[in-house]
Amino acid sequence: MIGKLKGTVDSYGEDFAILDVGGVGYVVHCSTRTLQALPPAGEAAILSIETYVREDMIRLYGFRSDAEREWFRLLQTVQGVGAKVALAILSVLDPAAFATAVATGDKAAIARAPGVGPKLAARIAAELKDKAPAFAPVDPALARLSGEIEDRSAPPAVADAVSALVNLGYGGPQAAAAVTAALAGAGEGADARTLIRLGLRELAR
């Protein structure tokens, strides 16, 4: 099995790059983000590789980092997500952004990927939520607060502050992140008015 390739970019296709390694050209399928990050043809590149072996083909998928490859693998543990959809999601969201979207239940962000509808986005967020902090620097306090808001166990002042920011037009994940930052500065006993004021300050940065 191939786990990594280090060579020279030979050429590009719509969803793949050909990497020349010692005179052998490997066709490596990549997300749009990975393709855009690779250097021009003729320059050196390194890709983490996921090898798929089927009866009728061998296909290589390439990633800028091991974290991106790990999310590619994890995504396909969700029913309805294959390699194509996994790459589409990683084309829209980098690993850190995807991990945050999963941890905060931001289904709208996940649904931006082609081929991902609201139901599938919700399933992805639900099934991978517990795994998000392990693969990217997701703020545990933000993940906890998002969970409390979702199951309605957040303190009243926190819930009211998030609700107020949402009513002002901010997205749920944005509001939760702002209130999390506000809590860090003001302390757990802060009232809703203080959290709203500090949250708006965070959002204005």
- 7 bridge partner residues: 45
Q: Where are the domains of the chain?
A: 4-63, 66-135, 140-203
- Which two three-digit tokens encode residue 94? 């980098």
CATH topology of domain 66-135: DNA polymerase; domain 1 (1.10.150)
Q: Which of 87, 62, 70 has its CA nearest to residue 5?
A: 62
DSSP-assigned states of every residue in 109-125: HHTTSTT--HHHHHHHH
User: Does the reported pTM lie above 0.75?
Assistant: no
Q: How many Cα atoms occupy the beta-carbon half-sphere of 166 within 13 Å?
A: 12
Give the CA distances from residue 130 to residues 39, 105, 119, 180, in Å, rounded to whole numbers and listed in that order. 35, 11, 19, 19
Do 5 and 21 form a contact (C-beta atoms < 8 A)? Answer: yes
Stretch (H or E) spanning 177: helix 172-186
CATH of 4-63, one of 3.40.50.300, 3.40.50.150, 2.40.50.140, 3.10.105.10: 2.40.50.140
Longest C-alpha distance within the chain, in Å? 66
Stretch (H or E) spanning 46: strand 44-53
Question: pLDDT tens string for the chain (205 positions)?
Answer: 788 999 999 999 999 999 999 999 999 999 999 999 999 999 999 999 999 988 888 999 999 888 889 899 999 999 999 999 999 999 998 887 888 788 778 888 899 999 999 999 999 988 887 766 444 454 555 555 555 555 566 778 878 888 888 888 776 767 777 787 777 777 777 888 888 888 888 777 6
pLDDT on residue 196: 85
